[in-house]
Amino acid sequence: MSYFLTQLANGLSYGLILGLIAVGFVIVFTSTGVLNFAHGSVLLTGAYLVAVLQGPVGFWAAVVVGIAGAALLGVLINAVLVRNLAEANPGTAAILMLGVDILLLTELTRRIGNRVLPIGAPWGADVVAIGGVTLPTSRAIAAGLAVVVFGLLWFLFARTGTGVAMRAAAADGDTASLMGIRLSRTGAAGWALAGALAAIAGVFLASFPAPGVGPALAISAFAAIPAWVLGGFDSVVGAIVGGLIIGVVTALAVGYESHLHFLGRGLGEVVPYAVMILVLLVRPSGLFGRAEAVRV
Amino acid sequence: MSEVLRRLPAALAVLVAAALPFLLDDFWLQTGLFTMAAVVGAIGLTLLVGVAGQLSLGHACFAALGAYTYAWAVGESGGRAAGLGLPPLLALVLAGVVAAVAGALFSPISGRLRGIYLGLATIGLVFLARHLMVNLEDATGGFNGRTVEPFSVPGFSFSNEDPDYLAVAGVEFEGLHRLWYLFLVVVLLAAWLGRNIKASRTGRALANVRDSETAAAAMGIHVARAKATAFVISSAYAGIAGALMALAYGRIAPDLFGLQLSIDFLIMIVLGGLGSIAGAAAGAAFVVILPLVLTQYSSDLPFLATPGSGGLDAATLARLLYGAAIIAVLLFLRGGLAGATGRLRHRRAPHPADTDDPPPAPPPPSPAPPGAATPAPSHPGVPTRSKETSP
């Protein structure tokens, strides 16, 4: 039983980190209509900045720089590239982000090389144990912080002018624009927010039990894509729930792999996508997504 | 007359492609084979993405299915990995059929989702395919993959044997030369078929669905079936492309068919210009050839560092150029390479008749149906205006 609870706790905390990444996908998508394939490299950029700077300036200052750097990178990508597309539609924007991803990832891979950079977090490799359930301290902190961040996001979107403007722009850009909302600003805010969330997730994904910052960290953002898709493409709540589902399912599939041997090795990598496809078969627009309404 | 002129570039390209094996060395022949395999897959994807407006990142899954189906069907039944021992030509067709059937099985999703939503859903297929490739060791050889029997028809093998020595005009025709012509035939068939699909009733229905699902449905097009059809067609193309890749590599392993392959296919058709067959071919050539050439000739470029030294090595430079090229095309070339050449041609000789299609394709053969409330199959470079049409 405690083994099951341990796996469950691991899955939930991992799922909350995935939720941070998936919410970034949602916000970029709703604020600028871009399927951000470069999200993984933005995440890696943030984590890389933290890992490089934590020696000279200390961990916490490095985290601030990493978050700001990732947010700034997102804003720049949007301002310099996305807004200057020759034909602005979701398809070409997605391919553009693939190009950006190639550039960023190649350069970061060249800088990192074969090394794995330690993230230097003060919680190190500690483990907390409560009533037989053990959880890495980094994951416990990540889960708590993610909940706080989601609370702040709710406050932002429900109670502040900026957040309401962003929601209005997402719901109907043309009308929002006519109402005096500057889409360039809501778009920039969306990209900055997504970059910051990605950097936070990156710090925790690079902490114990992971060894540190390596190029493979960028791939981990891909693990949030099933979470985003099965939650619904344009729902922040859906992204969080999707992250939790994917996190728990992945943790259980890995934890009980020896019992599931008939499904083959490496189950943890494929289970998120299998769950996503199953959900889409039943609900094509995801759990929380709006079915597209068409006006004629 | 203008019809002949318009077909001239395509005819020239075919002539050059047929003459190349007399001139090229093995490296370039191998590169050419990879390119032609990619061209087939890219044509299939451009029919799906460019004509029907459906994004797919699952192309690698169907290519893998085709490759393994081919390897499995021609493999000796007594070998390390199982096989059926079928004739290669049959196996090649089977590769396309199996991929098409798999594409049809995905139709509950491919018929209902639209545009980039489908693109995200299909990412899952790549990971499912990888899981199957690694775990079904009897058929696939597992992580290490399996070798592929060379192509042959009775009495003639597309390898270095049977006949052992074959020379045309003083050039010895080895396996690579022989495969070149096989691939060329498949590419021409694929291009011809693709162009006809695009211009056919089905193709116009797909373009109509891309431009507005509502209008298409009002015209009596079964939207879900049209989208599923496009997906099946592109899957079949991917299956054949996978079989060609298997032949070109001679050995296949799961790592060849990762998400990167799907992404590469997508980049090929966007660089070339969505919906254009010739553009897909040009994009495929660029994407396949650039990294191979840079790696091959990196020692001649003095500013490159050796791999692993932390400097700028050839593979890194290839990736950076690749990424920069994608961004540059998307920022500056509306409609990709095909759109750019089309505009260049218009500037030279304004032709009111062929405003509709990129250069090598003729204008749609039949006029728009009477009562033309249908949105005309639009130029791929022209952004659609109405809200519900964005994919």
Q: Minimal Cα–Cα distance from B218 to chain A, Å? A: 11
Q: Minimal Cα–Cα distance from B189 to chain A, Å? A: 28
Q: Which DSSP symbol is given to B1?
A: -
Nearest to A86 among B213, B330, B388 (CB): B330
Whole-number pLDDT of residue B349: 58
Q: Which DSSP symbol is given to B254?
A: G
Give residue A53's pLDDT band: very low, low, confident or very high (50, 70, 90): very high
Residue B310, domain member (yes or no): no
Residue B292, domain member (yes or no): no
Looking at the complex, does the CB of residue B330 fall below 8 Å from at least one CB of chain A?
yes
Residue B328, domain member (yes or no): no
Position with higher pLDDT, B232 vs B78 = B232
Looking at the complex, does the CB of residue B326 fall below 8 Å from at least one CB of chain A?
yes
Looking at the complex, does the CB of residue A102 fall below 8 Å from at least one CB of chain B?
yes
The DSSP annotation for B353-364 comes to GGSSS-TTSPPP
Residue B330, domain member (yes or no): no
Percent of chain A with pLDDT over 70: 98
* pLDDT exceeds cutoff 50 at A112: yes
Percent of chain B with pLDDT over 90: 23
Give residue A152's pLDDT band: very low, low, confident or very high (50, 70, 90): very high
**Phi and psi (nearest 5°) for B153?**
-115, 160
Looking at the complex, does the CB of residue B80 fall below 8 Å from at least one CB of chain A?
no
* pLDDT exceeds cutoff 70 at B350: no
Distances (CA, A) of A276 to A8, A22, A145, A246, B21: 19, 14, 26, 9, 47
Q: Minimal Cα–Cα distance from A137 to chain B, Å? A: 31
Whole-number pLDDT of residue A261: 73
Which residue carries 């059809």 as its tokens? B229
In this complex, do B123 and A277 lie within 8 Å of one another by their Cβ atoms? no
A-chain residues near B334 (CB < 8 A): 86-87
Task: Tell me if residue B190 falls in helix, strand or coil.
Answer: helix
Q: Minimal Cα–Cα distance from A92 to chain B, Å? A: 7
Is the preceding peptide bond at A209 cis, omega within 30 degrees of 0?
A: yes
Give the amino acid at B200.
S
In this complex, do B113 and A280 lie within 8 Å of one another by their Cβ atoms? yes
Of residues B25, B3, B98, the one with CA closest to residue B354: B3
105-124 in chain A: CB under 8 A from chain B: 106-107, 109-110, 113-114
In this complex, do B127 and A269 lie within 8 Å of one another by their Cβ atoms? yes
User: Tens digit of pLDDT for each residue in B79-114?
Assistant: 566 777 788 888 899 999 999 999 999 988 888 888
In this complex, do B391 and A90 lie within 8 Å of one another by their Cβ atoms? yes
* pLDDT exceeds cutoff 60 at A259: yes
Residue B261, domain member (yes or no): yes
A-chain residues near B115 (CB < 8 A): 90-91
- Among A176-180, A254-258, B319-323, top mean pLDDT goes to A176-180
In this prediction, does ipTM exceed 0.90? no
Whole-number pLDDT of residue A55: 86
Whole-number pLDDT of residue A25: 93
Of residues A5, A10, A28, the one with CA closest to residue A194: A28
Give the angle B373-B375-B376 at the CA atoms, nearest 5°.
Answer: 110
Whole-number pLDDT of residue B385: 43
B53 dihedral zone (left: phi>0; alpha: psi -120 to 50; beta)? left
In this complex, do A295 and B387 lie within 8 Å of one another by their Cβ atoms? yes
* pLDDT exceeds cutoff 70 at B169: no
* pLDDT exceeds cutoff 60 at A296: no
Task: Tell me if residue A134 falls in helix, strand or coil.
Answer: strand
Residues 6+ apart with CB under 8 A from A275: A226, A230, A245, A246, A249
In this complex, do B319 and A106 lie within 8 Å of one another by their Cβ atoms? yes
Whole-number pLDDT of residue B303: 66
A-chain residues near B135 (CB < 8 A): 264-266
- Among A43-57, B157-171, B270-284, B309-323, top mean pLDDT goes to A43-57
Distances (CA, A) of B192 to A157, B189, B230, B360: 53, 5, 17, 11
Residue B342 to residue B332: CA distance in whole angstroms: 15
Position with higher pLDDT, B18 vs B53 = B53
Which residue carries 């790549």 as its tokens? B126
Tell me how many domains chain B contains: 1
Would you call B89 exposed, middle or buried from its count of C-beta atoms within 10 A (0-12, 13-18, 19+)? middle
* pLDDT exceeds cutoff 50 at B377: no
Residue B9 to residue A296: CA distance in whole angstroms: 43
Q: Minimal Cα–Cα distance from A2 to chain B, Å? A: 30
Of residues A7, A8, A33, the one with CA closest to residue A187: A33
Looking at the complex, does the CB of residue A76 fall below 8 Å from at least one CB of chain B?
no
* pLDDT exceeds cutoff 90 at B369: no
Asked if residues B260 and B26 have their Cβ atoms less than 8 Å apart, the reply is no
- What does the block give as tokens for A121? 């977090």
What would the mean pLDDT of B16-32 be, rounded to a whole number?
Answer: 82
* pLDDT exceeds cutoff 80 at A27: yes
Rg (Cα) of chain B, in Å, rounded? 21
Which residue carries 């978050």 as its tokens? A67
Whole-number pLDDT of residue B307: 60
Of residues B60, B88, B59, B89, the one with CA closest to residue B76: B88
* pLDDT exceeds cutoff 60 at A31: yes
Three-state secondary structure along A124-156?
Answer: CCCEEEECCEEEEHHHHHHHHHHHHHHHHHHHH
A-chain residues near B323 (CB < 8 A): 99-103, 106
Whole-number pLDDT of residue A51: 92
Residue A5 CB neighbour total at 10 angstroms: 15
Whole-number pLDDT of residue B308: 56
CB pairs under 8 A between A and B: 144
Residue B322 to residue B293: CA distance in whole angstroms: 13
Partners of B146 in the beta sheet?
A: B252
Residues 6+ apart with CB under 8 A from A1: none
* pLDDT exceeds cutoff 70 at B232: yes
Which residue carries 């019992």 as its tokens? A259
Closest chain B residue to A29, measured at CA: B116
Q: Which segments within A11-126 are labelled E, that is strand?
A: none
Looking at the complex, does the CB of residue B381 fall below 8 Å from at least one CB of chain A?
yes
Would you call B53 exposed, middle or buried from its count of C-beta atoms within 10 A (0-12, 13-18, 19+)? buried
Counting Cα atoms < 13 Å in the Cβ hemisphere of B91 gives: 28
* pLDDT exceeds cutoff 50 at B383: no
B167: domain range? 21-276
Position with higher pLDDT, A1 vs A236 = A236
Residue B361 to residue B195: CA distance in whole angstroms: 7
Q: Which DSSP symbol is given to B172?
A: E
Asked if residues A289 and A233 have their Cβ atoms less than 8 Å apart, the reply is yes
Distances (CA, A) of B4 to B15, B18, B200: 15, 20, 21
What would the mean pLDDT of B198-225 be, rounded to a whole number?
Answer: 90
* pLDDT exceeds cutoff 90 at B61: yes
Residues 6+ apart with CB under 8 A from B364: B199, B204, B356, B357, B377
Give the angle A101-A171-A90 at the CA atoms, nearest 5°.
Answer: 30
Looking at the complex, does the CB of residue A94 fall below 8 Å from at least one CB of chain B?
yes
Residue of A270, A279, A287 best to disrupt the B interface, most CBs of B under 10 A = A270
Q: Minimal Cα–Cα distance from A233 to chain B, Å? A: 8
**Phi and psi (nearest 5°) for A228?**
-65, -45
* pLDDT exceeds cutoff 90 at B376: no
In this complex, do B134 and A276 lie within 8 Å of one another by their Cβ atoms? no
Give residue B170's pLDDT band: very low, low, confident or very high (50, 70, 90): low
Residue B217, domain member (yes or no): yes
Q: Which DSSP symbol is given to A128?
A: E
Range scoring the smallest mean pLDDT among A79-88, A100-109, A236-245, B381-390: B381-390
Percent of chain B with pLDDT over 70: 78
Residue B317, domain member (yes or no): no
Q: Which helix (H) or strand (E) holds B35?
A: helix B26-46
Closest chain B residue to A77, measured at CA: B327
162-221 in chain A: CB under 8 A from chain B: none
What would the mean pLDDT of A160-184 be, rounded to a whole number?
Answer: 89
Of residues A244, A242, A276, A182, the one with CA closest to residue A26: A242
In this complex, do B383 and A88 lie within 8 Å of one another by their Cβ atoms? yes
B-chain residues near A106 (CB < 8 A): 316, 319-320, 323
Residue B140, domain member (yes or no): yes
Nearest to A95 among B134, B135, B270 (CB): B270
